[in-house]
Chain A
């Protein structure tokens, strides 16, 4: 009885945080919905929300979706072998994760993207090296391909970290047992490693898919301003066109789309994603 009382009293500690959630998470969302659904004259409108179906906006949306999907798949394909290699060599938290993944994050990400621009540009480092070997220059600069390289580079760590956490917790005995019972490498992966790393994989997907779909800086730097992702369209409604209603409407559409696709992803997750990133 006494213990229960103390527990109930302890919930009061969450008060500052709850106030913060209401003030700076919930109310801003209410505000953006209000700006999206109410026009300048103060009456209800669906125009701003439905503007997403305008062909120009739809094109940006589909391109963003394709880039995000491509980025997520590539990150998964790159991260699994890496995490398995780290597990194999027992290179844990201190060595690779800190120096390999966290350290680069401390260099400003826009500057890192600019470095990629120099590497990939027409007279850039990559084409200089290719030219040295007599290979014709690759026209990667300012295409969707260079944007894809940029987002994979930027968000790969966010796939590796949760996946590493999930896979490093798998008991070696289970894998040994499967091998003793005659399972080959592929069967072990499919039947043991993949299911047991599912929570990590799912939070990795969320952490890669959402930002790669909505970033506007990557397209700005590596797309040369020619390629408009949905993030660029929204940003310009606020900065250049100063149509806040339309910008809010597109943001709300984007948010609804992202939340629905994430809800589908998380539905497969039995445990929720607590602690999965660290």
Chain B
């Protein structure tokens, strides 16, 4: 009986937190169908914002910049980070600790300080633009990759790699066939993390982007004073639905397959 009450309270509490996390998202989804431009008055159902969204070249430009940026920076960060993590893990204890301390700097430092420091450095030798934002994103993404990959390297059984080498595999073949598969889950988590962080970043992009380049975040920020265009709600709703379906597929399709196998 006590257990039942406790279970109920646990469920209830999880529900409250979920409500807190999803209320603003629900508000945004409703607003994307609101025909009144006013943000509090319901003016009836409309799909107009979805229509104008796809004809707005400004929004589409920002969307493609954001996606290209997130994808490219996550890929480069994953490669440099994974290879770097393997190298760091083979270092002597003292050097290992020093490098990891430096790895933590972009994570510990405030975004605004990281962004400003990079901007002050970039303006000395290159124009601010897509290139500078890309470098900045790679810089703050690498620590997340290392953080995800490092525990997998520690769990990895080195003897298998050594055995492969002893049996005549060259180092690249052994790396691809033995090391990479063992690290794959960490690498994927690192990539996913880096991609998400890049998509959601504002402060560092804001300081390093220069004129002319806009991601979704910086574009929305520039609209705050003038008033947000309802197209942005429509776009967010589409992204939300898209990610929701992907996560659903990733999480439940493998399980369904497993269930079928069991039968």
Partners in one complex: yes
**Which A residues contact B (CB, under 8 angstroms)?**
3, 6-8, 10-18, 20-21, 24-29, 31-32, 35, 78, 81-82, 84-86, 88-89, 91, 94, 96, 98-116, 118-119, 121, 123-125, 128, 153, 156-157, 206-207, 210-211, 213-217, 220-221, 231, 234-235, 238, 244, 247-248, 251, 254-255, 258-259, 262, 272-275, 277-278
Nearest CB in chain B to that of A237: its residue: B116
- Are B10 and A85 in touch, CB under 8 angstroms? yes
B173 beta carbon closer than 8 Å to chain A: no
For A26, give the chain B residue with the smallest CB separation. Answer: B102
In the complex, B224 has a CB within 8 A of chain A? yes
Known: A248-B116, A275-B151. A13 touches B86 (CB 8 A): yes
Residue B47 lies at the interface, judged by CB distance under 8 Å to chain A: no
Interface contact A221-B224, CB-CB below 8 Å = yes
CA distance A219 to B101 in the complex (A): 31
Across the interface, do A17 and B81 meet the contact criterion of CB distance under 8 Å?
Answer: yes
- Does B156 lie at the interface of the complex (its beta carbon under 8 Å from any beta carbon of A)? no
Q: Are A278 and B147 in contact (CB under 8 A)?
A: yes
8 Å CB interface, B15-68 against A: 17-18, 20-25, 27-28, 31, 39-40
CB distance from A102 to the nearest CB of B (A): 7
Q: Cβ of A85: which chain B residues have Cβ within 8 Å of it? A: 9-11, 13-14
A213 — which chain B residues lie within 8 A by C-beta?
Answer: 110
Least CB distance from A169 to B in Å reads 12
| Complex interface residues of chain B between 211 and 249 (CB less than 8 A to chain A) | 216-217, 220-221, 224, 228, 232-233, 236, 239-240, 243-244, 247
Does chain A have a CB within 8 A of B184? no
Chain A residues near B87 (CB-CB < 8 A): 10-15, 17
Task: Please give the number of chain B residues whose Cβ is less than 8 angstroms from any Cβ of chain A in the complex.
Answer: 87
Q: Could you give, for residues 90-131 of chain B, a 1 whenever the CB lies within 8 Å of some chain A CB and a 0 otherwise? A: 110001000110111111111111101110110010000000
Contacts of A82 in B (CB 8 A): 13-14, 17
Q: Which of A78, A94, A100, A103 contacts B243 (CB 8 A)?
A: A103
* Partner pick for A28 among B28, B112, B118, CB 8 A cutoff: B118
Which of chain A's residues have a CB closer than 8 A to the CB of B24? 112-113, 115-116, 119, 153
Residues of B within 8 A of A (CB): 6-7, 9-11, 13-14, 17-18, 20-25, 27-28, 31, 39-40, 80-81, 83-88, 90-91, 95, 99-100, 102-114, 116-118, 120-121, 124, 135-136, 138-139, 142, 144, 146-148, 150-151, 162, 189, 193, 196, 199-200, 202-203, 207, 216-217, 220-221, 224, 228, 232-233, 236, 239-240, 243-244, 247, 251
Contact of A111 with B112 in the complex, beta carbons under 8 Å: no
- Whether A29 pairs with B251 at a CB distance below 8 angstroms is no
Given A16-B80, A106-B243, also A255-B202 (CB < 8 A) = no
Nearest CB to that of A9 among chain B residues? B90
Min CB distance B184 to A, Å, is 15
Check A107–B240 contact: CB distance below 8 A.
Answer: yes
Cα(A278)–Cα(B194), bound, Å: 12
